[in-house]
Amino acid sequence: MRKGAFYTGEYRNAFAECGYDQAEIENRVQGIWEALFKDESSPYRIYFETEDSGYMLDTGNDDARSEGMSYGMMMALQMGDQEVFNRLWKWSYENMYHQSGFHKGYFAWHCTPDGEKIDDGPAPDGEEFFAMALFLAAKRWGNGTGIYEYDKMARQILSDCLHKGTELEGDSMWNLENYLIKFVPGVEFSDPSYHVPHFYELFAHSANEEDRDFWSKAAKASRDYIAISAHPETGMTPEYAYYDGTPNDERGFGHFYSDSYRTAANIGLDYEWFGNEHTPVTVVEKLHTYFKGIPAEAYKKYQIDGTPFDEESRHPIGLLATNAMAALAYDDVTKGREYIERLWETPLRDGRNRYYDNCLYFFAFLALSGKYRMWEKE
């Protein structure tokens, strides 16, 4: 088992290991960044600026989501663009963040592009990505003042995530007894794709001192949870699952569909960063076995045992991207060559539903090129 980048400081370049030229890799990553964030005429664009801030547009729903805003911040951080990072953070804080009331300390999960809250409720995958992006920004660029004192803001977010319901009005985002993230505050079930144990490992070093033991235990609990929520033969995880790992289909989300795709990518990045012996690598092996030889255009919605519905995947490029990123779970990334090469040969998605696919696509390119990093101050 290889040691993770947290211990070695070295990040694998899976594309290079599969034979791609380094200059082509650099150009491809930069080209994706330009297409999504910079080129105003790009049919793939999902980032838009206001006078003094910026937002990520969910083009399929015509709104801005805490998920996408935090994703955009992580992308900008990894690409070294502090101006875009700060614009996204400013928009998120001014429009999504609750500074008072029942949801104080949380972010509304979606807003209109002009900043009006559509729903006050939060979605925990946004909070965990906001916190991680802010911690890494402090490492890469150092802290500023006010809301740009990045690590202070990150610690406050994480503290509120845990202590609402005990010290504050509202409800925590994690179950404090089993250390598992909730789908949303106020419910007692989870979403396997929310589980990012590699983030929790870093939170255990950077969060408020009194919470660090919790995050260390959350990392272990999440690795175990991913393993038990994955089907034993296909490796597929449901979008929603109870704490014992069984699918929660009360609202029709007990199947392998859009949210679920992120689970494999999280396993890959967890192994790349930490090389933990409890990272459920076998989940990736089973997924890769199931999807071997199936082109993205043939992807469906599936029961977690692999039985397809008569319904196409809404985000086939996203599924292809996460299957490719999951190759980082192997000691030899070329074991996932089929998925890496297919991703390389597949262009960004255009059209109305491009937002989610292209977010997962860019994360995969960053990770597989060795550019999804934990960062130290430059």
Catalytic residues: 67, 259
| Cα 343 off chain centre by | 18
Assigned token pair, 21: 């030229």
Calpha distance 31→36 (Å, rounded): 9
Considering Cα of 44, then 326, then 324, then 258, what sign does the dihedral take? negative
Q: CA dihedral in degrees (252, 257, 245, 291; nearest 10)?
A: 140
| Cα 351 off chain centre by | 22
- Tokens 């296909």 locate to 234
Phi, psi angle pair for 312, to nearest 5°: -70, 155
